[in-house]
Amino acid sequence: MNSRLDELFASLHLSSPTPKGPITYLIVGLGNPGAKYDKNRHNVGFHAIDVLAEKHRISIKNAKFHALVGEGEIAGQHVMLMKPQTFMNLSGEAVREAANYYHIAPDHIIVYCDDVSFDVGHMRIRRKGSAGGHNGLKSIIAELGSDQFPRVKIGVGQKPHPDYDLADWVLGDLPAEAQKVMPDLYAKVAEATEMILEGHIEQAMNQYST
């Protein structure tokens, strides 16, 4: 009986209570759903948002807006964390639906995505900008009709040679050695996000862009 009570009390502390008031920020991790894509370079956005969720005890398990979502409070903001389940090329559909429903402006949507321009272990924060060839960002820009949203770009390494197919590269798994350095990077992504939510995006860009 005592063990069951212990399990019950432990489960009650797995998730933080949902804050009152409207959702003020949407934080989106990009990736492809399904176990076979889990370790892909393209899925680092999913992993980064999982780390943020765990840090702040937010459960991303509710199915809504063609995505898995969860609500909580980070840095004094009522946030919704999102992992679109539409596959990368249609990520914008989930983002648009949530943004329209909660009346969230693009500058209050933070997106985590992979970037082949940076080495593994590096990240870069941008306040706005083009898709840069990333299909997930391209979909979000098209659906929102705006590129004025912050994004955290997570380095997954450059293609081994220019002729290497980009889709094959990003849908390939990160090597084991690369995977070892990612947890520290995801922790930095979470710290940078907290800084952005506190209204210090320029400081986050300067401190965490490497």
- Known catalytic residues are 42
- Interatomic CA distance for residues 68 and 37, integer angstroms: 16
Smallest Cα–Cα separation from 114: which of 54, 175, 157? 157
Cα–Cα distance list, 208 to 96, 164, 177, 196 (Å)? 28, 30, 22, 11
Cα–Cα distance list, 34 to 29, 107, 168 (Å)? 15, 30, 17
Q: What share of the chain is helix, strand, coil (3-state, %, to 5)?
A: 45, 20, 35
Q: How are beta strands 25-29 and 77-84 bridged, if at all?
A: parallel
List beta partners, residue 112: 29, 152
